[in-house]
Structure 1
Amino acid sequence: MSDWEIFALRYATRAARTRADSFIFDDDHAAPHPMDYFLWVLRREHEVVLVDTGYEADEGARRDRPILLDPREALRPLNIRAEDVGRVIVTHLHYDHAGGLHLFPNATLHMQAAEMAYATGPCMCHATLRMPYTGDHICEAVRRLFAGQLVFHDGDAEVAEGVTVHRIGGHSRGLQCVRVRTQSGWMVLASDAAHYYENLLRQKPFPIVVDLEDMLKGFARLETLASERRLILPGHDPRVTRLFPSVLAPHVFRLDGGPEGAIET
């Protein structure tokens, strides 16, 4: 079978952050450290797999994190309509990755069973662990389950030929990355297993964490899954928009050709 194309769609950005928001251990916690928000499209001929759904304007207003584009509008340059999306890989159920599940009503969701158990279990009694989740998003995932539109995975699994998911954990119990066969080799969409290149390259944990050991082990797992380190794509790093070419629209970046420059920081 042919290789997959991968597109990163930047739908939001947040400048009012510091390095304290990105790294547990850092020499300058007060320095600015912006974050970008992406969803990803895998495309091969007539096949489309969406990875995560972003969140919409109402959620952005509640959290004071406005979006640049509605996720449905972000897909328009690729001629993809939300109602035509048949498969969505949900890397985890945090608001910025699963906040748009309801926008894709005909999609079957693929997620780790551990993530649903975590997001609906006793850990959510703790406000700190509950903070990245929104109840309505979890309810939408449960509705898909009862509608027969949810596939659970337990660890490693194939979603499509040339597309596999792998539970990493750490940031949440059921966080999964996505491994994709491309023209450059096996690329890995890390999602929040590595928010930034620096998390991975310098082994620096992100502060929102349920299991620190799993997060640290996850950095090594990402490297075993990718053909080479440069083909690991962090989930929120603004450097992605500088290392990969913009195509079709200013918010669309093509990833499968590999980065145009060194990823080391």
Structure 2
Amino acid sequence: MSTWEVHAIKYADRNSRTRRDSFIFDDNHDAPHPMDYFIWLLRRGNEVILVDTGYDQTEAQNRDRPIRMDPADALRPLGILPEQIDHVIVTHLHYDHAGGLHLFPNAKLHMQAADMAYATGPCMCHDTLRMPFTADHICEAVKRLYAGKVVFYEGDAEVADGVSVHCIGGHSRGLQAVRVRTQAGWLVLASDAAHYYENVFARKPFPIVVDLQNMLDGFATLERLASKPDLIIPGHDPLVAAVFPQGAAPHIRRLDQGPMSPIPR
């Protein structure tokens, strides 16, 4: 069975955060706690799958959350142009994961039906639940649906040989993690099922949550899906850049060979 390359591509970061922004019931809530923003590329020979799209300069200005580079430009060191992306796994429709859908016009989207229903349903009447979404991004997903370019899943499903999605929920109603067969074993791109290693390893939930039980249960699911805990890749942890080797450029990390050192617990 052939394996996939997995590349973590950092396009933004935010340092003006504290631990209260990352953990519920944390004792050290005023301590600084930076966040990195990633998209991920899977590649096997001529097969390419993008996991999430990040967000663009317009969204960065609207939310006052600057990006270091446009997500499409961030892919160029890997020899990938945005129009060459045929498949995007959308882990969920929050702005920082689906805010660049328009950058990849030829892509078919792979997502959980529950997340589309959540982002377009009555939960969006609540300001707090609507905050991580942007209407234009949801409209882009709906346009792609009407163009016949959305594949919906309900739970666990295989997207390609050696690539599967697994509905976790919790942070968003249809949040899905991505399991990938690599030379290091089964690797799990947690996306926001675990923003940080500490979320999953210490069982500390993230404050943006629609179903707390699903979030907590999801930590065990991530551990079950990965060949070993060090192959769980959180969605926003700066530790990823510290423990995985550099890839094709300084903002890219190669994940499929495993970490260079054990993940700090």
TM superposition score normalised by structure 1 = 0.99
In structure 1, the partner of 2:161 is 161
Distance 2:214 2:70 in 1: 33
In the TM superposition, 1:181-192 aligns within 5 A as 181-192=181-192
Q: Over aligned residues, Cα RMSD in angstroms? A: 0.5
| Alpha-carbon shift at residue 247 of structure 1 (Å) | 1.8
Q: Which amino acid aligns with 1:140?
A: E
In structure 2, the partner of 1:81 is 81
Unmatched 5+ stretches in structure 2: none
Q: Which amino acid aligns with 1:192?
A: D
1:3-53 Cα offsets, whole Å, 9 max, x none, are 000000000000000000000011110000000000000000100000000
Residue 138 (str. 1) matches residue 138 (str. 2): yes
| Alpha-carbon shift at residue 240 of structure 1 (Å) | 0.2
Q: Is the 8 A contact 1:201 1:264 kept in 2?
A: no
In structure 1, the partner of 2:16 is 16
Distance 1:25 1:60 in 2: 29
Q: Which amino acid aligns with 2:52?
A: D
Unmatched 5+ stretches in structure 1: none
| Alpha-carbon shift at residue 263 of structure 1 (Å) | 1.2
| Alpha-carbon shift at residue 264 of structure 1 (Å) | 2.9
Distance 1:262 1:163 in 2: 25
Q: Which amino acid aligns with 1:73?
A: D
Give the match's secondary structure for 2:27. Answer: coil
Give the match's secondary structure for 2:148. Answer: coil
Q: Is the 8 A contact 1:18 1:30 kept in 2?
A: yes
In structure 2, the partner of 1:27 is 27
Give the match's secondary structure for 2:91. Answer: coil
Give the match's secondary structure for 1:170. Answer: coil
1:63-93 Cα offsets, whole Å, 9 max, x none, are 1110001011100000001001000000000
1:101-123 Cα offsets, whole Å, 9 max, x none, are 00000000000000000000000
Distance 1:58 1:10 in 2: 18
In structure 1, the partner of 2:46 is 46
In structure 2, the partner of 1:246 is 246
In structure 2, the partner of 1:258 is 258
TM superposition score normalised by structure 2 = 0.99
| Alpha-carbon shift at residue 199 of structure 1 (Å) | 0.2
Give the match's secondary structure for 1:58. Answer: helix
| Alpha-carbon shift at residue 248 of structure 1 (Å) | 1.6
| Alpha-carbon shift at residue 262 of structure 1 (Å) | 1.6
In the TM superposition, 1:197-236 aligns within 5 A as 197-236=197-236
Runs of 4+ more than 6 Å apart: none
Give the match's secondary structure for 2:25. Answer: coil
Q: Percent identity?
A: 71
Q: Which amino acid aligns with 1:167?
A: C
Give the match's secondary structure for 1:142. Answer: helix
Q: Is the 8 A contact 2:115 2:174 kept in 1?
A: yes
In structure 2, the partner of 1:36 is 36
Q: Is the 8 A contact 2:7 2:247 kept in 1?
A: no
